[in-house]
Amino acid sequence: MAGLILAIDQGTTNTKGLLVDSTGAPVFRTAAPVSLTTRYDGFVEQDPDALWQSVLEVMSAAHSHALCNGCSIEAVAISNQRETALAWDADTGRAAAAAVSWQCGRGTSICNRLSQQADIVRSATGLPLAPLVSASKWAWLIENDPAVQSLCTSGNLRLGTVDSWLVHKLTSHALHATDLTNASRTGLMDLSTLQWHPGLLDLFGIPANSMPALHCSSGDFDRCTGVNGFEGVPILAIIGDSHAALLGQGSFTPGVVKATYGTGSSLMALTAQLTADTPSLARTVAWSVAGETRFALEGNIAMTGAAIQWLGEFLSLTQPAADVAALAETVTDSNGVYFVPAMVGLGAPHWDAEARGAISGLSRSHTSAHLARAALQAVAFQVADVFFEMERSSGLRFRELRADGGATRNASLMQFQADILGRPVLRSVNEELSAIGAAWLAGIKLGWWKNLSALEAMKQETDRFDPSMDGFKHTRLYRGWQKAVESVRASKEVTA
């Protein structure tokens, strides 16, 4: 009976399931949608139970496929959306509040109050003191949600990111754990010790006994219990989705840089060691395997695919994202229109939570198609901002950008990205790199592969986009974008 690994990739808008065989190749794909709620006050959240049900749905489909094909599922691996913060009751196992999305800015007031400690947070954790980090979201829940407050007082509060919530459910509440990649995105883990930082837990008002145990990304996360078809199946890998996508590229040499294009985007560059502190980028754990931890530089962008979705909804299009992409194809450029999608602030390299979105350069001749094109170009401009900042901070010149994620299907976006960077873009043919990376880690734990080096032979097939824009046009377009960003930040300061 052939053995398979089920990789569960729990994302912002859907949960994917990928069955991977012992050659490292996917043999079955399934997915279930999940919803995202934006409240009247602008808070962004998700239903923890709906996230769990979506996971059960893909597990059921994967089990049926394996059963029908005479295969056995030997391990579960998890990759997940990061920074999203959950809270639950240790006794009942029930969620105490809605999951606070990584996109949500409700932690802004916490960050403003602690602003004098920003250097301490960044120096220890590698992250800016920003609403993105899970710590600010947990602190807000503890201070503002009565159910969470009650659990905190009784000592029954459990806090975790999505991976911890899923392990909690998969093991019938037996294990409260996370891996080092997800922990490194909370703003609470000391990168020098790879442990929760006692001083930062106190700073955010988070009880140490509410936090999950820390594990390597490829490790033992107990066994599934009470899930049909998965009784006793071990959970052997957990890794944040962006880290998994970097690993799934199949190249483990420092200086490799990738961008994952999703609801938001993450650029990550593998480094030879933990780099010196930098205010414009995050330092993070890349992954941890067999006791060896690798580090990376990262830049996070809140709204890339989400900006295209927002515009489609704003224009009342039937299929918001797809229709915006089609509309953008009807014109050759944005004709001077710039769209800065800072609706939830600006991430790397600006880290300006107070900035807000804007459209500039409009004239009477412009149409919705030009605005659609500007939204598409805004994705590439934001990625370029982080890419160039990574070069400045690392002292390296990157030869190329590796790209993955759903939005990379848009060839016009990939070509414009190459033009703005002035470097080739290598688009992965496999859109499920996060799931692949997680499955590979579980395979190492199973003994299918000896180590990461054994995976380099399984590098992903790519499509190549070479820059073709002349230098003058490139400079003019990018300077226009930089001015648009500056105006957004300047107008924020005037109206504050």
Using one digit for the tens of pLDDT, what is the confidence trace for 63-100? 999 998 989 999 999 999 999 999 999 999 999 999 99
**pLDDT for res 387:** 94
Enter the tokens of residue 328: 């953008």
Residue 338 pLDDT: 94
Give the per-residue pLDDT at 496: 38
Q: Which residues have C-beta within 8 Å of that of residue 76, sequence separation ≥ 6?
A: 5, 6, 7, 8, 170, 224, 230, 233, 234, 235, 236, 442
The residue whose two tokens read 């974008």 is: 481
The answer, yes or no, to whether residue 420 has pLDDT greater than 80, is yes
pLDDT for residue 433 is more than 50: yes
% of the chain surpassing 70 pLDDT:
98
What domains appear along the chain, each with residue ranges and CATH number? 2-241 (3.30.420.40)
Model confidence at 393: pLDDT above 50? yes
Instruction: Flag whether pLDDT at 495 surpasses 60.
Output: no
C-alpha dihedral over 158, 31, 426, 475, to 10 degrees? Answer: -70
- Please report which confidence band the pLDDT of residue 492 belongs to, taking 50, 70 and 90 as the band edges: low
* Angle, helices 411-421/368-394, rounded to nearest 10 degrees: 50
**pLDDT value of residue 491:** 61
What local confidence, expressed as pLDDT, does residue 440 receive? 94
- Residue 33, Cβ neighbours under 10 Å: how many? 10
493 pLDDT above the threshold of 70: no
Res. 51: pLDDT tops 60: yes
Over 60: is that where the pLDDT of 181 sits? yes
Q: Angle at CA 231, nearest 5°, toward 229 and 232?
A: 135
Mean pLDDT (the chain, rounded): 91
pLDDT tens for 301-332 read 988 988 999 999 999 999 998 889 998 999 99
Q: What's the distance, CA 183 to chain centroid?
A: 13
CB 65 within 8 A of CB 102: no
Q: Which of 40-44, 174-178, 411-415 has the lowest mean pLDDT?
A: 40-44
- The end-to-end CA distance of the chain, in Å, is 65
Query: What is the structure's pLDDT at 249?
Result: 84
CA distances from 334 to 139, 175, 217 (A): 42, 51, 43
User: pLDDT at residue 1 above 50?
Assistant: yes
More confident residue, 431 or 296: 296
Side-chain half-sphere of 286: how many Cα atoms within 13 Å? 30
pLDDT in tens, 101-160: 998 989 999 999 999 999 999 999 999 898 989 999 999 999 999 999 999 999 999 999
Q: Which pairs count as long-range contacts for 152-156, CB under 8 Å and 24+ apart, including other chains?
A: 152/207, 152/210, 155/207, 155/209, 156/89, 156/90, 156/91
- pLDDT at residue 435 in the model: 93
Give residue 455's pLDDT.
Answer: 82
Question: In angstroms, how far is CA 283 from the centroid of its own chain?
Answer: 14
What is the value of pTM for the model shown?
Answer: 0.87
Task: Check pLDDT > 70 for residue 490.
Answer: no
